[in-house]
Amino acid sequence: MIKALKPEAISLARNEHGYLVLLSIFETADDTVLIAKTLLPELQKQLQELACDKYGRTSLLYPFSERHPRVVPRPALAVLEEVDKLRESTRYDFLTFYPTTNIVCRWF
């Protein structure tokens, strides 16, 4: 999904609702290397324009400041709190046995 959003990263960052998608991805994605290699270089291409944009600024600064109230607007904080609730309700903890390798893995 992240790779599919790569061409749209700039338009998402500048959109009133699209930047919330990026913040949610930054918050929930487990593969931070993938994000660093796909989305962040796209944002760097128009760094100055995004830094001056109302929503683009938040998309740029969020990976460095997380949920600091001077960076993230209150409505976005409310959305991110909802994302937290969804993550907690879908988190699972169980043992999985892989018979071919005789390895027991714990998923969180």
pLDDT in the model for residue 92: 53
**b/e per residue, 66-93, with b = 16+ CB within 10 A?**
eeeeeebeeebeebbeeeeeeeeeeeee
* Predicted TM-score of the model (pTM): 0.76
* pLDDT (0 to 100) of residue 52: 95
Going from N- to C-terminal start, the domains of the chain cover: 2-107
Q: 97 pairs with which residues across the strands?
A: 104
Give me the average pLDDT of each 10-residue run along the chain (108 residues). 91 95 89 89 93 94 89 93 86 48 44
Q: What is the pLDDT of residue 91?
A: 61
